[in-house]
């Protein structure tokens, strides 16, 4: 399998370096799995809480490979026509009415040609010659049937269109699937992927992320903020704050011109990182009654 990779990276360290250059600071686990997915040519299934940078990772990869990012956003009820391809019926009808005098055989072969094919994300990603990153977002939202559809694409990088035959990728896309684990994905799908659980970063990494995304924020304030967020995650909240929320909070503090994290500031801004009233109440109790 080793020759089939996408060839974005030469080593784990290289992966970490290139990701950092695009503004994505990666932990060892992330850099390692991304490098392996690249080298082994396997799809990468990324699971984890919302807002830790699953989709961002795909964007960063596309930037690194100077690749086109093809995104398939899954939802309940998505089907073959939306994921793979469909025929342009309107255009086909026009074609038939335009050539009323020709024989049936001519017309039939004609209207199932390339010209009338509407490629959807999966087929688009397979067909191109340029480097491609295929992001299949929120896989767990789609129905089980769609997974079966993906199996052919993910293991052999090919798609079968009955009227045209089998279309094989001339150049392997880098495939990244994300899931929030609302539904158990099938064994067959998981077996074809490398698995990465993308968790909240450790304090050190998160501080660097905050510094990178919100450069104007005072360094000690950034450090305090990351520590408070870490403590909130350790509490049993209904929705723990994720990295996206940490960054939002940092931006808010910067906008308010806060220079220390005192009680008043926290009470005014806790709503930025906590999304449930229960959680806000619980956190306030924790942070103010020490």
Partner 1 sequence: MTTDPAARLTGLVRALRGHGLRIGPAETVDAAAVLDVLGFADREQMRAGLAAALLRSDGQRAVFDAAFDLFFPLGVGTLEAARHVEPQDDAPRFGRPDPARDDLRERIAAALAADDRAALAALAGEAVESFGRYGTGSAPGSDGWSAHQALGRLAPETLLARILAALREGREAADLSDRVLADEIRRRIQDFRAMVAGEARRRVAELRGTERIAERAVTPAADRIDFLAAGPDQLAELRRTVHPLARKLATRLAARRRKAAHGQIDLRRTLRRSLSTGGVPLRPAYRLRRPARPELVLLCDVSGSVAGFADFTMLLVQAMSEQFSKVRVFAFVNRTAEVTALLARGDTDPARLAARILGEAKVMGYHGNSDYGSALGEFAERYLDAVGPRTSVLILGDARNNRRDPNLDALRRIAGRARRVHWLNPEQPALWPTGDSAALAYAGVVEMHSCRNARRLGELIARLLPV
d(CA 33, CA 52): 16
Contact 136, 176 (CB under 8 A): yes
Structure tokens at 249: 């909070």
Name residues whose C-beta falls within 8 Å of residue 27's C-beta, 6 or more positions apart in sequence. 201, 202, 205
Tell me the window of 34-42, 93-101, 117-125, 159-167 that interacts with partner 1 (CB under 8 A).
34-42
Which residue of 63, 86, 156, 199 would you call a contact of partner 1, by CB under 8 A?
199
> Residues for the chain: how many in total?
290
CB of 258 vs partner 1, minimal distance in Å = 10
Closest CA to 273 of 236, 230, 242: 242
Q: Given the complex with partner 1, which of 32 and 88 has the nearer CB atom?
A: 32
Mask for 260-279, x = binds partner 1 (CB under 8 A): xxxx--x-----------x-
CB of 23 vs partner 1, minimal distance in Å = 22
Q: Look-up: residue for tokens 């994905």?
A: 185
d(CA 209, CA 24): 8
Q: HSE of 42 in the Cβ direction (CA atoms, 13 Å)?
A: 19
CB of 155 vs partner 1, minimal distance in Å = 10
Which residue of 28, 158, 168, 170 would you call a contact of partner 1, by CB under 8 A?
28
7: left (phi over 0), alpha (psi -120 to 50) or beta: left
Q: Which of the residues 221 through 260 are near partner 1 (CB under 8 A)?
A: 223-225, 227-228, 230-231, 234, 236, 238, 260
d(CA 176, CA 113): 30
Q: Does 151 engage in binding with partner 1 (CB under 8 A)?
A: no
Which residue of 6, 18, 33, 124 would you call a contact of partner 1, by CB under 8 A?
33
| Positions that interact with partner 1 (CB under 8 A) | 1-2, 12, 28-29, 32-33, 36-37, 39-40, 42, 44, 47-48, 181-184, 187, 190-191, 194-197, 199, 223-225, 227-228, 230-231, 234, 236, 238, 260-263, 266, 278, 286-287, 290
């Amino acid at each position: 399998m080793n020759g089939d990779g996408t060839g974005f990276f030469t080593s784990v360290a290289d992966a970490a370096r290139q990701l950092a250059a695009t503004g994505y600071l990666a932990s060892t686990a992330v850099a390692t799995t991304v490098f392996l997915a690249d080298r082994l040519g396997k799809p990468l299934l990324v699971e984890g809480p919302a807002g830790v940078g699953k989709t961002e990772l795909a964007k960063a990869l596309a930037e690194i490979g100077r690749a086109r990012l093809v995104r398939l956003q899954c939802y309940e009820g998505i089907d073959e026509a939306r994921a793979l391809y469909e025929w342009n019926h309107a255009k086909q009808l026009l074609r038939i009415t335009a050539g009323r005098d020709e024989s049936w055989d001519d017309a039939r072969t004609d209207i199932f040609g390339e010209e009338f094919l509407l490629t959807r994300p999966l087929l688009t990603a397979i067909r191109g010659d340029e480097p491609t990153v295929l992001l299949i977002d929120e896989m767990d939202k789609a129905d089980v049937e769609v997974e079966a559809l993906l199996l052919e694409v993910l293991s052999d990088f090919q798609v079968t269109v009955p009227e045209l035959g089998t279309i094989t990728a001339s150049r392997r896309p880098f495939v990244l699937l994300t899931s929030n684990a609302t539904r158990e994905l099938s064994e067959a799908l998981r077996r074809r992927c490398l698995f990465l659980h993308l968790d909240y970063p450790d304090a050190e990494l998160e501080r660097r992320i905050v510094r990178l995304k919100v450069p104007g924020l005072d360094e000690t304030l950034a450090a305090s903020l990351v520590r408070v967020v870490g403590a909130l995650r350790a509490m049993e909240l209904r929705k723990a704050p994720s990295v996206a929320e940490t960054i939002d909070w940092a931006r808010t503090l910067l906008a308010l011109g806060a220079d220390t994290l005192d009680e008043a500031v926290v009470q005014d801004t806790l709503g930025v990182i906590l999304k449930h009233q229960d959680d806000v109440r619980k956190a306030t109790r924790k942070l103010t009654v020490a």
